[in-house]
Amino acid sequence: MALNDWLSNVQLLMRWLHVIAGITWIGHLYFFNFVNVPLQGSLDDATKKLVNPKLMPRALWWFRWGAMITLLAGLILFALTYMYTPGKGFGANSTFLDESGKLTARAIWISMGMLLGFIMWFNVWFIIWPSQKKLLSGKAGDKAAEIRKRAGFFSRINTFLSGPMLFGMLAPAHYGASNPATLLVAIVLGVIAIWWAIKTSAKVGTSV
Ligand code: HEM
């Protein structure tokens, strides 16, 4: 039976919007890092000039707006899940703070996830996209190589952060217990998975 209270319905809608936008964002991030970086290395300059001005603006549009909607829907989801009690209004609820006023395990996990997600969103909007805009508009001039390197570096950082960030998104509602060891394992596993994917991306898919 469907729940008919407004909070459950709005929460589900925000959860869905958050995850579908997150897939769009991180999907493009992985396309850039696992597919496009190795591909670009194998293209000659003439092909790059033909392909990139058509490919990159499209891909970067979904990438940056995916990031924006993910953040906004994520913040609304946070407010409704941790900062709202029906009948009482806004303020930290029992999902965020326990009876003794300490952060719950769920709150600790989502704080880690949101911190990493926020850093990633910041990198997209204030470093990667402005750099790419300069490169694509031809305004980078003789700084092009430096700007490309900086954008690529922060894109790599975001790719590494995405591994632990996703543990921080999934653990709150589906795992619970949090202590320094569980957080450390999540961070290490997340980084190792991305490291493996980057290493593998240099070798796979060059033939069928
Ligand atoms: C940008 C900053 C982000 C913020 C502020 C944020 C916030 C949140 C919040 C508050 C939740 C609910 C946690 C709970 O139910 O206890 C959540 C869950 C989730 N988020 Fe994020 N998030 C961010 C980035 C991302 C990204 C980039 C993805 C990539 C796909 C993502 C995927 C998810 C998933 C899969 C869930 C779990 C949904 C569930 O278990 O029902 N989030 N996020």
Helix 180-201 with 105-123: angle, nearest 10 deg = 40
pLDDT band at 49 (very low <50, low <70, confident <90, very high): very high
pLDDT above 80 (res 155): yes
CA 15 to ligand 1 centroid distance, Å: 8
Specify the 3-state DSSP secondary structure of 84: strand
pLDDT given at position 22? 98
Other Cβ atoms within 10 Å of 163 Cβ, number: 21
Question: What ligand 1 atom has the least distance to the C-alpha of 174?
Answer: 40
Decide: 171 in ligand 1 pocket, CB within 6 A. no
Mean pLDDT of 130-147: 95
pLDDT tier, 95 (very low <50, low <70, confident <90, very high otherwise): very high
Residues β-bridged to residue 84: 90
Our answer on whether the CB atom of 71 is closer than 6 Å to any ligand 1 atom is yes
182-186 contact pairs (CB < 8 A, 24+): 183/108, 183/109, 183/112, 186/112
Distance CA 28, CA 138 (A): 23
